Structure 1
Amino acid sequence: MLVLSRKVGEIITVGNSITITVVGNERGIIRLGIDAPRDIPVHRKEVYDKIIEMNRQAAQTKVSALKQAISGLDLLSTSADTPLHTDRLELINQANLDKKRIQ
């Protein structure tokens, strides 16, 4: 771990595309400004941990629960010209394939 001391207004660079600026230090609370490309996610640790936990829970969702969740949707009412139509059919087909693998 790299440990640095910085004053308000000073900047740290990470790679070629990320900058971290110390924007404030009041009553022991340090405020940082992080500038990163949109394709690089930047989260506080507690938010990142929550995302990981939600992804774990989603990965454990059973196919039957997914089928039940989508059973009330009118998935075939979209015209064939709409890209969502293909995506929806693909999801249904994938759910059916996954169900066959589980059985």
Structure 2
Amino acid sequence: MLVLTRRIGERVVIGDDVEVTVLDIKGDSIRIGIDAPRETRIQRAEIVDAVRSENAEAAHAGDGAEQALRSALSGRGDRSPDDAS
């Protein structure tokens, strides 16, 4: 990890097309501005982590539902098309 010290108005350039500018500092909080192409995804890490965690929980919870659906569908194979009603 690269650690830099910047003051308000100073910038950091990442690659050829991403620029981060320190906009304001208040106490232990800092406001930054990010100038990047529209196609560049910029997300807060805590949001990405929360979504990843929710997806993992949903996938785990879905394991039981998937098995129940498979069991229900496997029982349908014994019936003839005339019995489907």
Partner of residue 94, structure 1: none
Percent identity of equivalent pairs: 36
Per the alignment, in what secondary structure is the counterpart of residue 51 of structure 1? helix
Aligned-residue RMSD, C-alpha: 2.6
- Cα deviation code 1:29-70 (max 9, x no counterpart): 1111112223322122211111212332454545x66xx9xx
**Which structure is larger by alpha-carbon Rg, 1 or 2?**
2
Q: Which runs of 5+ in 1 are unaligned?
A: 69-98
**Using the alignment, how far apart are the partners of 1:54 and 1:36 within structure 2?**
28
1:54 aligned partner, one-letter code: E
Higher strand fraction (1 or 2): 2
Count residues with an aligned counterpart: 68
Q: TM-score, normalised by structure 2?
A: 0.61
Question: Which amino acid in 2 is paired with 1:11?
Answer: R
In the alignment, what sits opposite 2:83?
none
Are 1:44 and 2:44 counterparts? yes
Amino acid at match of 1:49: D
1:11 corresponding residue in structure 2: 11
Please name the residue that 1:55 is paired with. 55
Matched residues in 2 for 1:38 and 1:58: separation? 30
TM-score (norm 1): 0.52
